[in-house]
Amino acid sequence: MISPRRSGLPLIEVLVQSSTFAVRDALDRFLTALAPLCLDIEEYTAVEMVLAEALNNIVEHAYSSVPNSGPIRITGDHHHDGLHIHIVDEGVAMPDSKLPIGLAPAVNLDIPDLPEGGFGWFLIKDIAKDVVYARVGHENQLKLRVAVALHA
């Protein structure tokens, strides 16, 4: 389950069943495992935001027709160019098997007209690098990299 990596941070592996509470649990477990990197607050927040958005999208969209079921597997591996994250689920594929464009929603509106959602993929693509999605067999696979350093 755990193997050492170049930075000394073991490979992080978190497996949960899809649910809102599972997202919180997965985030907590994943972020706690990053402690040896001694991330600064900006790096920690970047990882947290990207993971939270991706995991919430899985729960809300990939598993929307079958709530509270289906595995979500998250792995994290730290390299010289940052934290490589791989998220796998068995939910419904992305439309056209492609990532959403992820444009920023319009925010120059009156407060009652502001959109409730639509920021997720914009945030993921803005913060993370090398964001790649593929449907492999019956699995959705999302790979991305968050540029964080080893501060220890």
Range of the domain at 88: 12-146
Q: Quick one: CA dihedral 84, 59, 53, 103, positive or negative?
A: positive
Overall average pLDDT of the 18-34 stretch: 93
DSSP 136: E
Average pLDDT, the chain: 84
Mean pLDDT of 37-61: 94
Residue 1 belongs to some domain of the structure: no
Count the domains in the chain.
Answer: 1
Position 6 in a domain:
no
**Residue 124 within a domain:** yes
Would you say residue 56 lies in a domain? yes
Q: Render pLDDT for 113-139 as a digit per residue (tens, 0 to 9).
A: 434 445 678 889 999 999 999 999 999
67 belongs to a structural domain: yes
Task: Look up the pTM and report it.
Answer: 0.84
Is residue 7 in a domain? no
The tokens for 49 are 């935001």
Residue 4 lies in a domain: no
Query: Can you give the CATH number for the domain in which 42 is found?
Result: 3.30.565.10
Structural contact between residues 33 and 76, judged by C-beta atoms closer than 8 angstroms = yes
Which token pair is 21? 């509470």
Is residue 3, in this structure, part of any structural domain at all? no
